[in-house]
């Protein structure tokens, strides 16, 4: 019997799920297309965000959805007071949508918060010491809202540099919540990277499996559904 997605995530967290896949296309903007809303309005409306992601789950059938991503959040990371971040419009909407989805989807889908890593956040702020605080606040809030997976996105090169203590702290926070933590970008020795399978080259894969990039809003739903099916094998 196949375990539901959230149970598979818990098995992977416990180290007993190496044979499992969690297939999650990076398709936040496709959910906006389903709701027929412009992105700025979609990202700040928790009802539309939650409904769009739920409808995407039903239309495509992945193992989970991305509830936010760095491109959606970059414009909110402008304050030098990390404690104020949860009240920022896009972050607040994403957190509320996560809470609602946690109730409505139950164990049938994992919720993935794709967050800017501390190096990326430091680059946005122009302050190398602030990135760690930003990352930890965002991680705490999304884990508390019910996220099952944190995917930390770092740039390959740039003004900010990821700090190992900050990453370790977030990894420990995820473990406390029985959640998974991955890093996308430069490798971090104690964090796994997701398995990247291009949309136009689907193949069976295991672990957290994502598309090679955030999919544009005009991507074919049929193509994404086929990618999900073929990655599952």
Q: What single string gives the DSSP state of each residue in 72-115? A: HHGGGTT-S-GGGGGGSHHHHHHHHHHHHHHHHHGGG-EEEEEE
For the full predicted model, state whether its pTM sits above 0.85. Answer: yes
Q: Which is higher by pLDDT, 116 or 94?
A: 94
Check whether 231 has a pLDDT greater than 70. Answer: yes
SS3 20: coil
| Closest CA relative to residue 182, chosen from 135, 211, 149, 145 | 149
Cα separation, 131 vs 73, in Å, equals 14
Check whether 157 has a pLDDT greater than 60. Answer: no
* CB 64 within 8 Å of CB 109: yes
Q: Tell me which of 55-59, 110-114, 133-137 is least confident.
A: 133-137
Give the mean pLDDT of the chain. Answer: 91
* CB 118 within 8 Å of CB 160: yes
Query: What's the rounded mean pLDDT across residues 21-50?
Result: 94
State residue 159's pLDDT score. Answer: 47
Cα separation, 122 vs 119, in Å, equals 5
């Amino acid at each position: 019997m196949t375990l539901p997605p959230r149970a598979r995530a818990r098995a992977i967290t416990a180290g007993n799920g190496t044979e499992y896949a969690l297939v999650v296309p990076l398709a936040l903007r496709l959910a906006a297309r389903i709701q027929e809303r412009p992105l700025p309005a979609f990202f700040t409306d928790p009802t539309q965000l939650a409904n769009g992601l739920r409808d995407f789950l039903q239309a495509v059938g992945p193992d989970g959805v991305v509830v936010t991503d760095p491109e959606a959040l970059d414009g909110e990371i402008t304050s030098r007071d990390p404690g104020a971040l949860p009240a920022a419009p896009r972050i607040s909407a994403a957190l509320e949508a996560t809470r609602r989805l946690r109730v409505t989807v139950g164990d049938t889908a994992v919720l993935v918060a794709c967050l800017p890593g501390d190096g990326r956040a430091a680059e946005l702020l122009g302050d190398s010491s602030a990135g760690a605080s930003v990352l930890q606040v965002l991680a705490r809030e999304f884990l508390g809202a019910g996220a099952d997976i944190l995917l930390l996105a770092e740039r390959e090169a740039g003004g900010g540099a990821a700090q190992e203590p900050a990453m370790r702290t977030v990894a420990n926070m995820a473990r406390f919540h029985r959640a998974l933590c991955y890093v996308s970008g430069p490798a971090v020795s104690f964090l796994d990277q997701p398995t990247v399978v291009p949309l136009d080259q689907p193949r069976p894969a295991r672990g957290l499996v994502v598309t090679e990039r955030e999919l544009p809003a005009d991507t074919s739903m049929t193509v994404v559904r086929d990618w999900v099916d073929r990655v599952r094998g």
